[in-house]
Amino acid sequence: MRIVFAGTPEFSVPCLEACRASGAQVVAVYTQPDRPAGRGRKLTPSPVKEAALAAGIAVEQPRSFKTVATRKQLAAYQPDLMVVVAYGLILSPKVLTIPRLGCWNVHASLLPRWRGAAPIQRAILAGDAETGVDLMQMEAGLDTGPVLLERRTPINRNDTGVCLHDRLSLLGADVLMEAISRIRAGETLHARPQSEEGVLYAHKLQKAEARLDFTRPALALEHQVRAFDPWPVAEGEIAGENLRIWAARAVEQNHKNAAAPGSVIAVHRDGIDIACGEGALRISALQRAGGKRITAADYLNARPELRGAR
């Protein structure tokens, strides 16, 4: 089986390795053009490109497939299958029909819930109890294709965007390995059409979403903090100082008189409790402007006036 792999970020790398380990031949890798990164804004290859070059695989980086020449280049690889994992380009029907078996996509949600760009973070934000990865036969619509295989995983109370990202990346590689092995063994995978009910779109994350509104319930703010680790990182104000909030948990407000949302109502070894519209948010890890991530205890050492908060 000749496979063309299309992917860009770190999430895609385990799936590329699964394609190689499956016994199929990865004849080319498509990835986004090198982008400026770091303080020097130096052109930097994607994680998928680095993995492909290390494995000696040909790399293609077209900005689109709109030209006949780019589609002819893809066809020249004579792919039986194209595997797409967080590639960053929408593929037209003219591209989807080039591989003999079409195109597969590994998507980090339980479709049709959370179609789109940020399914991992949106699932945490919504307080979903479960998520997973779907292997989908691609069609012209955005994440609308029938599902070939699925893996599920619970979303735990301590799951952040980064740890759930890593777990789903490995689950994606696992489901992809199984599918390729079954196809190579002569089996036909039966695609399940997506339900028309329960469709939700996971819109791209925006920096403005990171601001914590303490008039909201504490549990919703906890979800926000967990979902936005490692980007864009939640932000909030504590006693007049704007901070990045890295870790927090919703707790009950155990004080006699109702405090205004955003007020510091308690400080202790476990964190700083902030009154919310419902409950309180206990902040345990944060970051000052220009500083590094620190514990709430270290922060209180720098602001001793807060230690008397009740």
Q: What is the pLDDT of residues 16-55, one digit of tens each?
A: 999 999 999 999 999 999 999 888 888 999 999 999 999 9
Cβ 135 vs Cβ 103: under 8 Å: no
DSSP string, 159-189: --HHHHHHHHHHHHHHHHHHHHHHHHTTPPP
Domains, the chain, with CATH or none: 2-202 (3.40.50.170), 207-308 (3.10.25.10)
Put residue 94 in one of left, alpha, beta given phi > 0 → left and psi -120 to 50 → alpha. alpha
Residue 112 annotated in ligand binding: yes
- Distance (Å, whole) CA 96 – CA 203: 24
Residue 111 annotated in ligand binding: yes
230 band by pLDDT with thresholds 50, 70 and 90: very high
Question: What does the pLDDT read at residue 257?
Answer: 58
Residue 286 annotated in ligand binding: no
- Distance (Å, whole) CA 120 – CA 162: 9
The token pair at 161 is 């965007």
Give the pLDDT mean for 215-235.
97
Q: Give the chain's mean pLDDT.
A: 95
Question: What does the pLDDT read at residue 256?
Answer: 54
Residue 219 annotated in ligand binding: no
pTM beyond 0.75: the answer is yes
Terminus-to-terminus CA distance in the chain, angstroms? 66
254 band by pLDDT with thresholds 50, 70 and 90: low
- Distance (Å, whole) CA 265 – CA 138: 52
Question: What does the pLDDT read at residue 259?
Answer: 87
| % of the chain beyond a pLDDT of 90 | 91
294-300 long-range contacts (CB < 8 A, ≥24 apart) are 296/267, 296/270, 296/271, 296/272, 297/269, 299/272, 300/267, 300/272
Question: What does the pLDDT read at residue 258?
Answer: 73
The token pair at 50 is 């680095």
How large is the angle between the packed helices 47-54 and 13-21, nearest 10 degrees? 30
301 vs 257, residue with greater confidence? 301
Judge whether residue 90 has pLDDT over 70: yes
Is the preceding omega at residue 99 within 30 degrees of 0, hence cis?
Answer: no
Judge whether residue 184 has pLDDT over 80: yes
- Distance (Å, whole) CA 14 – CA 191: 23
308 band by pLDDT with thresholds 50, 70 and 90: low
